[in-house]
């Protein structure tokens, strides 16, 4: 593969800052590129010169989770997961070698920096499918970063009315410009949700900014019988304090979603390739790979949605 673009995600930022330390690693798990050589055994319907999104995360395909189709929950021990052994994800490079099952052909009409968003889109497709959000449901998305925005867009595609909460006014406005019906500050959240939903609360809450307060607010904003889905990890790690009587009496379901399956990838790349989902407004900046340190600093500054490295 000749790589042309790769997004800077949270994992790469943590590696850069040193808060995640599973070195040695070649990071960059959101790559897009061009096929330069195909092994003769590859049966994928693709040719040299084709443009692809790459599901670059390593999966063992042998553990129980992988065999049941839930490769996002892979527990396999393999090279790259053992301490001290090189973990090769490999998107921050000019060239890489990839298993054919990881390739998803994309049309030439889409820019590479947008194709690089296929991976975060696949993550959110997983979250949306896992929560089984239904037509006409009310949804709350806590956190309006890149992943929060993707939840807004995909929940709208699923026919939901979406409320967003974020402390940042510009992010709230961005969400309103791209499909959210209402955007609230964390201070306004619980009362605003009650008011908008006739006092009932929302059917689904996606917590994309995870901390104690957002966890608490999610449980308060969910309607009786609603679902709360924790998307993304809490840094630093934290504990939730939930009144078990509240869960008992309200039948609120607490759930999580992580990463993506091949089915999610197929859906994500079809949504992008067929023009059903426009994520171009979430690419804040691109940097040539020679200036990757600037890209990392920009991404870590918190002022951007996706920063993409190009080659
Ligand atoms: Zn990612
Ligand atoms: Zn596995």
Instruction: Looking at the CA of 67, name the nearest ligand.
Output: 2
Both 162 and 96 in one domain: the answer is no
The enclosing domain of 231 has a CATH number of 3.40.50.720
Low-confidence stretches of the chain (pLDDT beneath 50): none
Q: How many angstroms does the Cα of residue 72 sit away from the middle of ligand 2?
A: 8
* C-alpha angle 119-120-122 in degrees, rounded to nearest 5: 65
The residue among 17, 53, 46 whose CA lies nearest residue 32 is 53
pLDDT at 42: 95
Both 247 and 180 in one domain: the answer is yes
Q: How many angstroms does the Cα of residue 139 sit away from the middle of ligand 2?
A: 32
- Indicate whether 271 belongs to any domain: no
Q: How many angstroms does the Cα of residue 262 sit away from the middle of ligand 2?
A: 13
Both 246 and 132 in one domain: the answer is yes
* Distance between CA atoms of residues 7 and 91, nearest Å: 8
For the chain, the 3-state helix, strand and coil shares in percent, each to the nearest 5, are 35, 20, 45
pLDDT at 32: 98
Q: How many angstroms does the Cα of residue 264 sit away from the middle of ligand 1?
A: 14
pLDDT at 81: 66
- The structure tokens listed for 4 are 């042309």
Both 80 and 175 in one domain: the answer is no
- Indicate whether 58 belongs to any domain: yes
pLDDT at 207: 98
pLDDT at 236: 84
Q: How many angstroms does the Cα of residue 184 sit away from the middle of ligand 1?
A: 26
- Tell me the whole-structure pTM to 2 decimals: 0.96
Both 52 and 168 in one domain: the answer is no
- Domain range for residue 298? 2-117+279-310
From start to end of the chain, where are the E strands?
2-8, 25-26, 31-34, 51-54, 87-88, 103-106, 138-142, 161-165, 182-184, 202-207, 222-231, 253-257, 283-288, 306-310
- The structure tokens listed for 143 are 């956190």
Q: How many angstroms does the Cα of residue 257 sit away from the middle of ligand 2?
A: 17
pLDDT at 144: 97
**Domains in the chain: how many in total?**
2
Q: How many angstroms does the Cα of residue 152 sit away from the middle of ligand 2?
A: 30
- Indicate whether 266 belongs to any domain: no
Three-state SS for 102? helix
- Indicate whether 273 belongs to any domain: no
Both 98 and 187 in one domain: the answer is no
- The structure tokens listed for 208 are 């994309």
The enclosing domain of 79 has a CATH number of 3.90.180.10
- Indicate whether 236 belongs to any domain: yes
Instruction: Looking at the CA of 261, name the nearest ligand.
Output: 2
- Indicate whether 153 belongs to any domain: yes
pLDDT at 235: 83
Both 146 and 237 in one domain: the answer is yes
Q: How many angstroms does the Cα of residue 245 sit away from the middle of ligand 1?
A: 36
Both 106 and 164 in one domain: the answer is no
- Indicate whether 263 belongs to any domain: no
Both 156 and 224 in one domain: the answer is yes
């Amino acid at each position: 593969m000749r790589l042309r673009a790769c997004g800077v995600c949270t994992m790469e930022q943590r590696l850069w800052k040193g808060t995640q330390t599973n070195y040695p690693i070649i990071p960059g798990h959101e790559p897009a590129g061009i096929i330069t050589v195909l092994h003769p055994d590859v049966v994928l319907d693709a040719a040299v010169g084709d443009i692809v999104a790459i599901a670059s995360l390593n999966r063992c395909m042998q553990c129980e989770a992988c065999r049941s189709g839930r490769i996002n929950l892979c527990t396999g021990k393999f090279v790259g997961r053992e301490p001290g052994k090189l973990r090769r994800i490999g998107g921050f490079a000019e060239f890489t070698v990839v298993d054919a099952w990881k390739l998803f052909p994309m049309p030439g009409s889409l820019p590479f920096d947008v194709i690089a968003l296929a991976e975060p889109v696949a993550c959110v497709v997983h979250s949306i499918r896992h929560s089984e959000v239904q037509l006409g449901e009310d949804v709350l998305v806590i956190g309006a970063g890149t992943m929060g925005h993707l939840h807004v867009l995909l929940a709208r595609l699923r026919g939901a009315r979406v409320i967003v909460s974020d402390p940042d006014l510009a992010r709230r406005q961005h969400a309103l410009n791209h499909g959210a019906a209402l955007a609230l500050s964390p201070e306004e959240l619980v009362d605003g949700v009650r008011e908008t939903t006739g006092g009932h609360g929302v059917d689904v809450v996606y917590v994309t900014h995870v901390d104690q307060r957002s966890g608490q607010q999610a449980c308060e904003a969910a309607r009786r019988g609603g679902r709360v889905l924790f998307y993304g990890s809490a840094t630093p790690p934290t504990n939730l304090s939930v009144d078990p009587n509240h869960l008992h009496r309200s039948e609120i379901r607490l759930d999580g979603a992580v990463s993506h399956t091949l089915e999610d990838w197929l859906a994500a790349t079809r949504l992008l390739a067929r023009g059903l989902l426009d994520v171009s407004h979430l690419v804040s900046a691109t940097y040539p790979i020679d200036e990757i340190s600037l890209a990392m600093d920009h991404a870590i500054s918190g002022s951007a949605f996706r920063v993409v490295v190009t080659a």
